Structure 1
């Protein structure tokens, strides 16, 4: 009798647990399928936005997938009668502790998400973020890789870049430059201005709109500063600057326009000769 009761009890447990196992398998399979479907849907939806970074798309879609899988795990544990409330509380406490321990890292991740979403700079652009300057090599979730003009590698935390003003020298299509050259006070100002304008108009890298212009920018101590203002494509900025500076010097030399050195007039005022001491008077 006792044996029959035990067998009946075991059969009930077997049936009960088999149903739980079957339900857990169904939940796991359904959860994996749902996680994959949601991951693809989020990824495809985000890719519809122009200029949305692929790294951020993968991060957000992967995050959605892991959230769904975590919910499925909780549901499977509940299927076997496990008290999930305590597990969720423990996971929350562990997550809080991990978040406090990785506060700086999470801050970099948040800054990386904002940098990838707003795109203040892209790969290949030259930027300066309050002293952190270089060409962008790669933008990651934790840090950004840069290369300076002299080939030095920089790994900058994203929080450092996000919390500072960013100057992007490559973003706009055109850049302006003022080529200021000092000429002598006795030289012909109009002739110097015409030479500079002719140089700018002859250079194919100088755009016609806005058109180049010249003006007297300053009256210095030893020179009249004549300025050529012109615009070029950003990619041609440095080459045009170097070439036009050299061409301006050669053209001024050829046309007899001087570029004076700093000068200062010194007036010498001789001091008065010392007077001879007065002779003492003799007593009468």
Structure 2
């Protein structure tokens, strides 16, 4: 079948679900990822045809898109801060807001000349830990997650991105202490209340791990409180604690940090104008 005919089918099947440009983006990503066919190849050869076997692959992806399965899970990869990460339904898909958090940390560390120890809590695909390790010199990074399957993906991503991370499997809510002290502790923990579930798109709710997304309505800061408690004993005096946060709970989160003795807490908005990240310290 001609690729241009397949593209027409994509629009016929998907334009009611996605923006026209988004459908084109999906289509070209699939061609590039599966067959190494670039957009320019189709321009130069408008009647280009693919095999029946290749059609099967592309139409399976179309079926997944009709179910609103994330394109990153269909491809099996996502890009974060210029790096490539393997993802699946055991890990959250790395998001632009988290890139902003990571960029904040990297900029804060740009003038540091001493070796730094960093802890990433709830690492998932490893995108935060690996990106920090890749972009901050003289750094030792440890990453924790409750899911062994997520850690398998994170370890693969660390290997593929040529960084050495200390991975640990643990339930942060059950830990009484951490191993050692850290200059930076960072976490993007679960923070979506179940009451907010109806506001979320089905591509997130139906395909991403709920354990990494949702918290009880009656105790939405349970991860933040536990991490703050652990950090109070394991964050160096001049170190920083960074969080990605629920935009609706910024004041609740800063008030909680005050109770644990943190000072100079800064709430930063993401590019969409939402309260999305926090930096705090004891100094």
Q: TM-score range by the shorter chain?
A: under 0.3
Higher helix share: 1
Flag the structure with more relative contact order, 1 or 2, with Cα contacts below 8 A and sequence separation at least 6.
Answer: 2
* Higher Cα Rg, which structure: 1
